[in-house]
Amino acid sequence: MKTKTIIHNLTLIELLISLGILAAIATITLSMLEESGAQQRFKRTWETGEDIREIINAGKSDDGVSRFISDMGRLPAVINTGEGMRLAEFYHESSVNEAAKWSSSVVFNNNDASLPSVDSSLNFPDDFVDLKLPGGWAGPYLYNSRETLFDGWNNEWQLLDSAHNKIESPVAGTFFYGIESLGSNNSVDEDNWSSKSQVFKFNTSGTATADRASLIVTIMVRDDSSLNPVLRPAVEYKSPSASNWAASTEYKINDEVKSGSFVFRCINSNVINKGRSGASEPPWSTAAETPDNNIVWEYSGTAGSEAAWQASHIYSKNDQVQAGGNAFTCVRVRGLSASSAPVFNTRYGDTTTDGDFSWKCVYPEPAIMNYFRAAVFMPRVAVTEKGVRRFMAIRNDGGTTATDSNDSITFSDGNFFASMPAETAEWTAYNQVVLKNLPPGSRKLYVYGFFKSGTEYRNKRGSGVLDVKLSPGINRITVHLINNL
């Protein structure tokens, strides 16, 4: 049996209808793909802008610290005006190196010029004299696989000024306070959702990124081998309640006087057993004691067999003399300090001769420190600077509070940092220092102390360079001075 195959040919109308259906499907598919592509471009623009805003505002970070501002001490700036390179400071290390990156091994020369003059004779170890302190740019802050950075529509990012208006012609060194994408048509008009501008403002309110940190540093002075607390800060051990040394004053053994911050105890009197009478006869008193050079006479009745008083004669306690028909008994041999202050030997245990006395230095002890320094190293707040600046809290002679900052804080564009208070320092009891208003971030801390007597330095000990991560609010650290300087 033969099988018949019947072939139906499409009519022209049927063919046109089929092509129309295919064209409609293709149109819908292309439209959907275009919509999906636009959504992806919009999303990519939004994600990049949010990442950059977070780098500055730190609104989502646990500690609320802007890594960029913490490292650089300023808002971002244009460092390369090439196409797609306005934001290069966030990701392009070579561009940063060429224009504005701080050296990663800044050398802090701790010499006579960079220390307070009182420290000019200190001998610091080599690793502190040439102290290498990382500072400045610590990027990349934004991951970008390309050499340039555009928005999702492959358009240049617009930069915003402090009022969040477009900067028309940004040049190198221009600070910016936000970024903007003009959408799919790269224009301010908004025909549809894809052409709408996306604006990402940096925080300029002085809140999140302007939060300050305080660092409470408790200083412990330790022996470097056994870590026993053999050295004591001077403020913990107040000097004895001695009066200032006075000229031509009567003292006795174990009396204490102070001169400046040093205390001296009388350990010997040259006239402890015998004293010399004056060169001329004193005005005798029958109602009160009669001082007579290095001895004191007391009225004891009518003269009898006592010998007459003699000038410049050696007498002892209980010796008796007569004068003017009256008898007097030596009741005390006294010593007198010199008519002017001696040059006290301030080394602990050394003695000083003073008229009839010998004074021994008993305070401060060798274990005591009376000078302390606590230095925090931070970025400079200026786009053109390269290096770190030092904020140093100083405690002199156990009680004087002072601070030293080798650079003032300035910001050359806008008022972003205007509301930030300047750093301050307060010393509490027992050589604890509170450093206030520091910018948060990873910092370097160095603490050292010494005992200073005149021009002599002793007990010079330091902490070594410490890494401290400062979060907004109060931070605490205990520092042990164990390194001999």
* Segment 143-187, tens digit of pLDDT: 888 889 999 889 999 999 888 899 998 988 888 999 999 988 888
Of 231, 482, 218, 260, the residue nearest 368 (C-alpha): 231
Q: How far is CA 147 from the centre of its chain?
A: 39
Specify whether 224 is located in the same domain as 265. no
Q: What confidence score (pLDDT) does residue 409 get?
A: 47
Of 364, 420, 424, 417, the residue nearest 394 (C-alpha): 424
Asked if the structure places residue 447 within a domain, the reply is yes
Mean pLDDT of the chain: 79
Specify whether 154 is located in the same domain as 227. no
Specify whether 355 is located in the same domain as 420. no
Among candidate residues 300, 329, 363, the one where a domain is terminated: 363
Mean pLDDT, to the nearest integer, of 378-384?
A: 61
Asked if the structure places residue 466 within a domain, the reply is yes
Q: What confidence score (pLDDT) does residue 24 get?
A: 77
Who contacts 309 (Cβ-Cβ below 8 Å, separation ≥6)? Answer: 277, 281, 321, 322, 323, 328
Of 262, 76, 263, 38, the residue nearest 179 (C-alpha): 76
Asked if the structure places residue 254 within a domain, the reply is yes
Specify whether 359 is located in the same domain as 374. no
Highest mean pLDDT among 72-81, 313-322, 381-390, 459-468: 313-322
Q: How far is CA 235 from the centre of its chain?
A: 20
pTM above 0.75, yes or no: no
Specify whether 45 is located in the same domain as 162. yes
- Measured CA to CA in angstroms, residue 290 lies from 92, 285, 300, 313, 317 at distances of 93, 6, 12, 16, 14
Instruction: Give me the number of domains the chain comprises.
Output: 3
Specify whether 341 is located in the same domain as 221. no
Q: By residue range, what is the domain housing residue 470?
A: 213-235+367-484
Specify whether 330 is located in the same domain as 273. yes
Task: For 106-164, give the DSSP string.
Answer: EEEE-STTTS-GGGTT----HHHHEEEE--S-----S--SSSS---TTS-PPEEE-TTS
Distance CA(258)–CA(367), nearest Å, equals: 19
Give percent above pLDDT 70 in the chain: 78
Specify whether 275 is located in the same domain as 224. no
Asked if the structure places residue 106 within a domain, the reply is no
Question: Residue 48: left if φ>0, alpha if ψ -120 to 50, beta else—which one?
Answer: alpha
CB 216 within 8 A of CB 476: yes
Asked if the structure places residue 380 within a domain, the reply is yes
Among candidate residues 301, 333, 363, the one where a domain is terminated: 363
Neighbour order of strands in the sheet with 320-323: 290-292, 295-302, 326-333, 320-323
3-state secondary structure of 379: strand
Q: Which two tokens stand for residue 380?
A: 């400079």
Specify whether 86 is located in the same domain as 159. yes
Q: Which residue has the tokens 């290390």?
A: 93
Among candidate residues 363, 383, 413, the one where a domain is terminated: 363
Specify whether 467 is located in the same domain as 406. yes
